[in-house]
Structure 1
Amino acid sequence: RQTPGPPPPPHPRPPPPFLLFAHAALFRPAAAPQAADGPSEPSGFGASTSAAPTEEDDDWSPAEAFLYTGDSSTLKEARCSRAYSSPGQTGSLPPSFSAALRPALDALASTANFLNMIFQASDLRESTVQEDMEWYHALVRALLEADVLIRRALLTFDADPSAPVPQLVLRATRNPTAKVQTIVLQDLSKAWDGLHPPAPAPDDSWFRSFKFPGSNQPMAWGRGDSYVTNRSGVRWDSAPFLDCEDGSFVPGWMLTLSTSFYGLKPDLTPEFRGVIRVDVNIQDIDLDQCATGDGWFADTHECNRTTMECVPIPGRGFRLGQYCCRCKDGYYNPELVPEDAGEQTARQGVHDAGGTCYPDMPICLPCWPGCRSCQDASPCWVQEHGLLRAAVLALQGVFMLLIFVSMLAAYRIRASSLLLLETILFGSLLLYFPVFILSFKPSTFRCILLRWVRMLGFSIVYGTVTLKMYRVLKVFLSRTAQRMPYMSSLHLLRILGVMLMTVSWFLCAWTVGVLQNRDRNIPVFLTTRTSDGQGFNLCYLDRWDYMMAVAELLFLCWGSSLWTAVRPVPSAFHEPRYMGIAIHNELLLSSMFHLFR
C-alpha cells in the first residue's frame, strides 16, 4: 500500500472542463490486468422483474408483437404509460453483440477509469456537487457522443455512501428524430423514484447491484491501490426494453449497460461513488435463436431437433422467429418438389434454401435406408437383382467345379505334362475368383485382393501356356529329335516362378502405395452414379491399373508372336493350335473390355 503523504490542500478542485472534454472524447480503453486465458466476458445483472401490467389501460401486446415483426407500424396505434421490458434472460449476451457493443463498452470503461483516477488520486470528499456540476454535465454529454448506438447516458454520484438514493443524477438523451442532432441534458436528482415505474418497466437493479453488491461479488483491485476496470467490468441488464415517450413506444429495443466508479477512504479501502449507465439501441443487431450455449434466446427455435436443422436469417435485426427449418441429411421434405429446389435456392439464397421459415414448419421424412441425402422416397443406391446375381455366381461355381473335375481327370489322361496342366488349372481357378469378389460391396481389402487374384491368375495361366510354346519353339529350332534337358517341366516352372516373383513384387509396391494414399484421404473405392442418379460403389482405377492392363496386352502379344512361329510344327494333338486359340481369345476379349471401360 502507498504511505500517506503530506495532507492535501483544503477543497481541491477537479481538472478543468476542457481536460475532461479531451479525455472523454477520445475514450481510449484503460489497460487492466487480465487472466491468463484472456479477458472475461461482462457479467449481467440479476433477472429483472417482468410481471403482468399493473395498470389495466396498458396493452403490451403491440410491444410483444414488435419483438417478432420488427415493424414500427405495429407501435403507432399503441399507447403506453411507461417502458416495457421483455422477459428476463439468463446467461451471456449473444456473440453477435460483441462487435456492435464494443465502442459503448470501451466508452463506459474509459469514463469509469477516468473517474476512478480522479477520486482515488485526490481528496474530493469535502467538495460539493454544485461546484463540479459543469464538468459532470460535460462528462455525461461526451459519453453520449462516444457511439451512435448510445441513445441515453446517465451518471449517478453518491457523496454519502450510506444514502439509499444517489445525490446527483444527470441524464443526457439523444433525439434521433430531429433534423439537427440534439442532446437534451436533465438533472433528475429529485426524481429518482420516477425513473423506475412498476413492472414491466426496467427496475433499478443496474444501480443496486453496484451499490449493494452481494457476497459473491468481490472487489477487484489492481495497480497497487488504484481500482481500474475494462470491458469485463461492464454489466448488462437481463432483458432489453422498449422506451416510452409522450405516451407512445419508441421503435427500437434498448439494452442497459452500466459500470461503477470508486474513491478511497482515509484508510485506503474502496468507497462506492456512483454508477455510469448507457442505453444502447440494439434493434439492428441480429438475434440468433439457432445458436447453442447460454446466450440470450439461444436454442429457442421450434425446429425438430431430430429431423431438422435451424438456419438463421441474417440482416433481420433484433427480432424473434428469424430462422428457417431445413431437413437434415437423411431426411427430405415431401412438400418440396425436386424441380423447384434449384429455383428456391436462387430466390432465397443459401441460408434458407430448401427450408421452411418460421412460423411454418416443414415435414421431414426419412430417406431410403442407406441414403445420406435425398429429395424423395426413391432409393438412392442401385438395387441389386438377387436372381441375376445368383445365376451368375452359380454359373461361375459350375465352371470352377469343372476345373476341379479336370484336375482329377488329368491323372488319367497324361498326353501332356501333368505338372504344367495342373498349374494351368490352378491359375484358372484364380481367374474365376474376381467375379465372387465383385459380388460383395467394395472395400479396401476386397479392392486390393481383386488385383492380386487377377494378376497372379493371369500370370500363371498365360505364363505357362506361353512357356510351353516357347519350349516347342526351342525344340523345333534345335534340329534334333530329343528334348533339350534344360527345357524340362521343372525348368519351365522355375522360369514361371521368376515371372511370378516379378509380378508379386509389382503388386506389393502397388499395395503399399494404395495404403499410403488411403492415409492421405485418396480413396481406394469411390461412389459413382447411374444416369438416373442412383449411386453404387466400385474400386477406383488409377494409373497403376492402366499399367497392369498394358503389361497384360504386351505379354499376350509376345505369346501371339510365339504361336506364329510354332504354328507349322506338327503335333499329334494339335497342342500349339489350341494354345494359340486361348491366347488370341484372351487378347481379343481383354482389348475390347479395357477399351470400353
Structure 2
Amino acid sequence: MGKKDLSWKSYTLTTTILINFVLGGGNAHVRKKDIESSLQDIHDVAIASLGDFCNKKQFKSLTVPLDTLKFESVRQKADLAATLLQDLGVAHHNGLQDAISKNLIVTDKSVLSSRILAINASTGSIVNCAWWQKQISDIGEPKKISDTGMEIGQRPNSEYPWYVIVSQNIGVWYIIRYIFRYEDADSSPGVRSPKFIESPPNVAYKGWWTFPYYSCSNRKWIVSYSVPIPPPGRRGLKGFLSLDVDVSYLEVNQCETIRNQQVNNEISIFHGSHKCHNFSTKCIYRSNLNQETWTRGKYHCVCRSGFYSEYHQGIFNGTLVEIAWSEYLKTGSKSWELIFQCKKCAPGCLFCQDPSPCLATYHWPFRITLLTFSIICVICTIILILYMYKHRKLKVFKVASPIFLSITLLGCATMYLEMAAIFPILDQYSCIATKWSRHLGFCVTYTALLMKTWRVSLTYRVKSAHKVKLTDKQLLQWMVPIILVMLIYLGTWTVSDTPNTEEIVDNAGLRFKQCLYNWWDHSLAIGEVLFLAWGIRVCYNVRNAESLYNEARLISYAIYNIAIVNIMMIAFHLFIFPRAGPDIKYLLGFIRTQLSTSTTIALVFGPKIIRVLRGQGDQWDNRARSRGVTASFSLNGIGLVPEEAPDLFQENEELKEEIQKLAAQIEFMKIIHMESNNRHVKPKSGGYFSIQNTTSLIHSPLTKTGLNQPTKPPDEM
C-alpha cells in the first residue's frame, strides 16, 4: 500500500509540473495549434449542413479543455451517486439506477442526460444500463432512452466521447485503466485517453471530464463527466456513471478580457485568439450574436484611436478577418494585411477618417525671419546701452537720468525676448518663459518711464518758489517695490500653478498648442490696465509742461502708444482673429512687440542719438530756454546730477539768467514809479506802463512766480 501511495504521489506531482509548464508557455506553440484547430472545428460545425455532417459522424470533439470548476456542483452530485452505487452494488438494483440517473437530470438544469452502466468484468459487455435524457424542448419529465450502443451483452460504442475501447483482446480492467488512468500495485500508471482532460492541479476527482464535443442527437455542445464504480472492497470495475452537461450557452469570446473582470459565461481558453491586427485595431466582442451556438469570428475589429481605414469605415467583421487570416497562412494572400489593417493617422490626430492633417503647419522660415529680427533688436538695445554709457556726460543724456534710461532699455530687451519664448511648438517651459518675458519686461520698461514722468508732474505742479528735489535714488526707492511685487506674483504663479499649454483649433480645424490663460493671467491683466490708466493720467497732467529736449512730451507719447497698441492687440486676438493659426498669432506678437517696444525706443532715444550724431549732444535746448525753461530745469527737476561736483559753466549760465531777470524787473519798476510820482508825466490810459496794466501783469496766470517771470525791456516797446 505504501508503494502505491508513493507511486501515485510522484505521478500527481509530475502531472502538476507538466500542466504548469504548458500553461506557463513552455509548450505554447502546441497549445496555440490546439486552439486554432478547435476554432476551425467550431467553424465547420457552425457552417456545415448538419444533415450531411451528422450522417458521417455523431460527435465532433475539440482538443482544448473547458474550465470545469463552473460545473463543480454537478461533479459533486455524480461522485456522491457513484459512491452510493458502489456501496449498494450496480448490477442488482435496476430501479435504483433509474432513480439516480433520473434524479441527476431533474436536480440540475445544465445536465442533459445521465447514464449508469453495469459491466461484466470478464467480458467487458454491458450487464444493464439506465440512460435518461432531457426532452429536446426542455419541457416535461426526462425520458428513458435505448441506444444501439447500449445493448445488453454488447460492448459500449467506441464513438462515444465518454467511453473508449482500445481492443477486443484487452479486458475491461485495462480498458478502464486506459480511460481513467486507474492502476494497481503491480503496474505503472496507465495512459490517459485523449478524450479526457487533466483535472485541475491539487484537486482529487473520482472521475474525469471529457473535452467539449458536439452532439448531433442533441444539437448542442456538451462535456461529459464519467466516474468508475469499483466493487466494494475489491479491485476491478463493476460499472461507471456518466452524465452530459450542456455548454452551448457558453460564449466563444476570442477578444482579450479586461483585467480583474469576472466572466462566468465565456470560455477562457479562447480569450486572445482573435485575428485582429493588435497594433492598429482592437477586438470588440459581439455578445448578442447567436447565443445558442458556438461561432468563430464573433467579434469586430475596430480601428484604434489614431488609426483609420479606407474599407468598411474601419469596422471589420470577425468572420471575414478569420477567413483572410487563414488565406494568409495557407496561400500568402495579402488581403489580411492590406484590407483588415488600419493605417496610422496624420501626426496629432486622435481620430481620423483619412490621411488629412490634424495639426496646424508651422512655417519655420517665416518664423525664423521674425525671430532673427527680434534678436537683432535685442543686440541693438544692448549696443545702445553701451553707447549711452560712453556718452553719459553729454548734457542730452545727463539731464535725462542715464540710470533710468538704462533700466528702460533692459526692459525693452526683455520684451523682445518674448519672441524667442513663443518661437517653438509651445510646451510648459516655453509658457513659463513667455509669461516672465512679457510681464516682467513690460513692468520694468513702463515703470522706468512712469517714474521719470511722475517726477516732472510733481515738479510742474508745485506752486511755491521752493524747488522740489527728487533724486534718482528716491525714485528708485519707489520703483523697486513695484518690480518686487511683479517678481513675487510671477514666482508664486510659476510654483503654485505652473503655466502650461492647451490645444486650440484654428479656422481650418487644425489643432495647435498655445499657452493656457486662466485667472492668473486675467488678474495680472487687470492690474496692468490700472497701472496704464495711472500712467496716462500722469502724462495728461504734464501735457503743458516744458522740459529740455522736449523729453516729457516724448515719454508721454511713448506711454500713450504702449496703451493703444496693447488694447488694439487684445481686440485683434479676441474679436478679429480669435481662431488664427500659430503663424498668424506669432506675427501678431511680433507686430505688438515692434509697435510698443521699438516705438518707445525710437521716441525716447531717437532725438538724443540724432543730437549726438549732429554734434549737439552737449548743447542746451535753445528753444526750451526761450520759452522760459532754465538750464537748471530738467526732467530731474533738480539740475543735472546733484551728486556730482558743481558745473561752473552751468552756474555761470544760471547767474546770468538771474541777473537779466533782476535788471529787467528793476528797470520796469523804475519806469512805473517815475510815472506815478511825476505829475508832468502821465501814462496813457491802457498803456503798457499804466497802473491797471501793471496790476494785471503782476497777477497774470502766465507769470508762474509773479514778477520773477522775465519781461521785455522798456526799450522794446
Q: TM-score, normalised by structure 2?
A: 0.58
Q: Which range moves more in the overlay, 202-211 or 322-331? A: 202-211
Q: Aligned pair 1:462/2:446, yes or no?
A: yes
Q: Aligned pair 1:311/2:284, yes or no?
A: yes
Give the direction of change, closer, same or farther, for the CA distance of 1:285–1:505 in structure 2 (3 Å limit). same
Counterpart residue type for residue 559 of structure 1: G
Give the direction of change, closer, same or farther, for the CA distance of 1:401–1:256 in structure 2 (3 Å limit). same
Please name the residue that 2:478 is paired with. Answer: 495
Q: How does 1:283-362 map to 2 (within 5 A)?
A: 283-291=248-256, 295-316=268-289, 317=291, 318-336=294-312, 354-360=315-321, 361=336, 362=340
Residue of 133, 140, 158 corresponding to 1:196: 158
Residues 527, 536 of structure 1: 8 Å contact kept: yes
Residue of 60, 64, 75 corresponding to 2:50: 75
| CA distance, structure 1, for counterparts of residue 517 and residue 563 of structure 2 | 21
Please name the residue that 2:360 is paired with. Answer: 382
Q: Aligned pair 1:449/2:411, yes or no?
A: no
Give the direction of change, closer, same or farther, for the CA distance of 1:132–1:385 in structure 2 (3 Å limit). same
| CA distance, structure 2, for counterparts of residue 560 and residue 466 of structure 1 | 9
Residue of 96, 107, 112 corresponding to 1:135: 96
Q: Which range moves more in the overlay, 550-559 or 274-283? A: 274-283
Residues 82, 241 of structure 2: 8 Å contact kept: no
Matched residue of 1:473: which SS? helix
Report the RMSD for the aligned CA atoms in angstroms. Answer: 4.2
Q: Aligned pair 1:241/2:213, yes or no?
A: yes
Give the direction of change, closer, same or farther, for the CA distance of 1:401–1:212 in structure 2 (3 Å limit). same
Structure 1 residue 273: deviation in Å?
Answer: 8.9
Residue of 361, 375, 381 corresponding to 1:403: 381
Counterpart residue type for residue 94 of structure 2: M
CA-to-aligned-CA distance 1:395-436 (integer Å, 9 cap, x gap): 322322332232122222514111111111111111122221
Structure with the bigger percentage of strand = 1
Residues 102, 142 of structure 2: 8 Å contact kept: no
Q: How does 1:548-567 map to 2 (within 5 A)?
A: 548-567=524-543
Residues 325, 358 of structure 1: 8 Å contact kept: no
Please name the residue that 1:176 is paired with. Answer: 136
Give the direction of change, closer, same or farther, for the CA distance of 1:128–1:492 in structure 2 (3 Å limit). same
Residues 68, 321 of structure 1: 8 Å contact kept: no
CA-to-aligned-CA distance 1:70-121 (integer Å, 9 cap, x gap): 46x821354425423244125x54xxxx9xx84x4323324534665x58xx
Unaligned 5+ runs, structure 2: 1-19, 24-38, 166-174, 184-188, 191-197, 260-266, 322-335, 575-717
Counterpart residue type for residue 433 of structure 1: L
Please name the residue that 1:109 is paired with. Answer: 76
Q: Aligned pair 1:84/2:52, yes or no?
A: no
Structure 1 residue 167: deviation in Å?
Answer: 7.3
| CA distance, structure 2, for counterparts of residue 78 and residue 443 of structure 1 | 66
Matched residue of 1:85: which SS? strand
Please name the residue that 1:347 is paired with. Answer: none
Residue of 393, 400, 403 corresponding to 1:416: 400
Structure 1 residue 130: deviation in Å?
Answer: 4.7
Give the direction of change, closer, same or farther, for the CA distance of 1:511–1:491 in structure 2 (3 Å limit). same
Counterpart residue type for residue 212 of structure 1: Y
Q: How does 1:527-538 map to 2 (within 5 A)?
A: 527-538=503-514
Matched residue of 1:466: which SS? helix
Matched residue of 2:107: which SS? coil
Give the direction of change, closer, same or farther, for the CA distance of 1:260–1:457 in structure 2 (3 Å limit). farther
Counterpart residue type for residue 432 of structure 1: Y
| CA distance, structure 2, for counterparts of residue 166 and residue 458 of structure 1 | 104
| CA distance, structure 1, for counterparts of residue 236 and residue 277 of structure 2 | 53
CA-to-aligned-CA distance 1:509-566 (integer Å, 9 cap, x gap): 2222225xxxxxxx92222223433221122111111111111111111111111222
Matched residue of 1:586: which SS? helix
Give the direction of change, closer, same or farther, for the CA distance of 1:263–1:387 in structure 2 (3 Å limit). farther
Q: Aligned pair 1:280/2:245, yes or no?
A: yes
Structure 1 residue 184: deviation in Å?
Answer: 2.1
| CA distance, structure 2, for counterparts of residue 242 and residue 218 of structure 1 | 23
Residues 349, 359 of structure 2: 8 Å contact kept: yes
Q: Which has the larger radius of gyration?
A: 2
Structure 1 residue 156: deviation in Å?
Answer: 5.5
Counterpart residue type for residue 374 of structure 1: C
| CA distance, structure 1, for counterparts of residue 520 and residue 226 of structure 2 | 70
Residues 326, 356 of structure 1: 8 Å contact kept: no
The one of the two structures with greater contact order (alpha-carbon pairs below 8 A, sep at least 6) is 1
Structure with the bigger percentage of helix = 2
Counterpart residue type for residue 196 of structure 1: S
Counterpart residue type for residue 416 of structure 1: A
Residues 228, 241 of structure 2: 8 Å contact kept: yes
Give the direction of change, closer, same or farther, for the CA distance of 1:436–1:180 in structure 2 (3 Å limit). same
Give the direction of change, closer, same or farther, for the CA distance of 1:535–1:158 in structure 2 (3 Å limit). farther
Please name the residue that 1:520 is paired with. Answer: none
Structure 1 residue 132: deviation in Å?
Answer: 3.9
Matched residue of 1:410: which SS? helix
| CA distance, structure 1, for counterparts of residue 60 and residue 352 of structure 2 | 45
Give the direction of change, closer, same or farther, for the CA distance of 1:590–1:277 in structure 2 (3 Å limit). farther
Give the direction of change, closer, same or farther, for the CA distance of 1:68–1:78 in structure 2 (3 Å limit). closer
Counterpart residue type for residue 133 of structure 2: T
Matched residue of 1:285: which SS? coil
Counterpart residue type for residue 74 of structure 2: A
Counterpart residue type for residue 459 of structure 2: V
Give the direction of change, closer, same or farther, for the CA distance of 1:130–1:398 in structure 2 (3 Å limit). same
| CA distance, structure 1, for counterparts of residue 495 and residue 181 of structure 2 | 73
Matched residue of 2:512: which SS? strand
Please name the residue that 1:55 is paired with. Answer: none
Please name the residue that 2:687 is paired with. Answer: none
Structure 1 residue 447: deviation in Å?
Answer: 1.5
Structure 1 residue 256: deviation in Å?
Answer: 2.7
| CA distance, structure 1, for counterparts of residue 459 and residue 308 of structure 2 | 73
Residues 325, 357 of structure 1: 8 Å contact kept: yes
Matched residue of 1:315: which SS? coil
Give the direction of change, closer, same or farther, for the CA distance of 1:86–1:325 in structure 2 (3 Å limit). farther
Matched residue of 2:548: which SS? coil
Unaligned 5+ runs, structure 1: 1-39, 44-62, 222-226, 342-352, 516-522
Give the direction of change, closer, same or farther, for the CA distance of 1:143–1:574 in structure 2 (3 Å limit). farther
Please name the residue that 2:419 is paired with. Answer: 435
Residue of 203, 212, 218 corresponding to 2:182: 212
| CA distance, structure 2, for counterparts of residue 304 and residue 556 of structure 1 | 62
CA-to-aligned-CA distance 1:347-375 (integer Å, 9 cap, x gap): xxxxxx73344315524223334545432
Please name the residue that 2:494 is paired with. Answer: 511
Structure 1 residue 376: deviation in Å?
Answer: 1.3
| CA distance, structure 2, for counterparts of residue 379 and residue 532 of structure 1 | 10
Residues 112, 261 of structure 1: 8 Å contact kept: no
| CA distance, structure 1, for counterparts of residue 93 and residue 516 of structure 2 | 83
Counterpart residue type for residue 274 of structure 2: H
| CA distance, structure 2, for counterparts of residue 536 and residue 189 of structure 1 | 81
Q: Percent identity?
A: 19
Please name the residue that 2:577 is paired with. Answer: none
Residues 108, 259 of structure 1: 8 Å contact kept: no
Give the direction of change, closer, same or farther, for the CA distance of 1:133–1:264 in structure 2 (3 Å limit). closer
Structure 1 residue 450: deviation in Å?
Answer: 1.6
| CA distance, structure 1, for counterparts of residue 120 and residue 477 of structure 2 | 109
Counterpart residue type for residue 490 of structure 1: K
Counterpart residue type for residue 135 of structure 1: L
Residues 66, 74 of structure 1: 8 Å contact kept: no
| CA distance, structure 2, for counterparts of residue 479 and residue 262 of structure 1 | 128
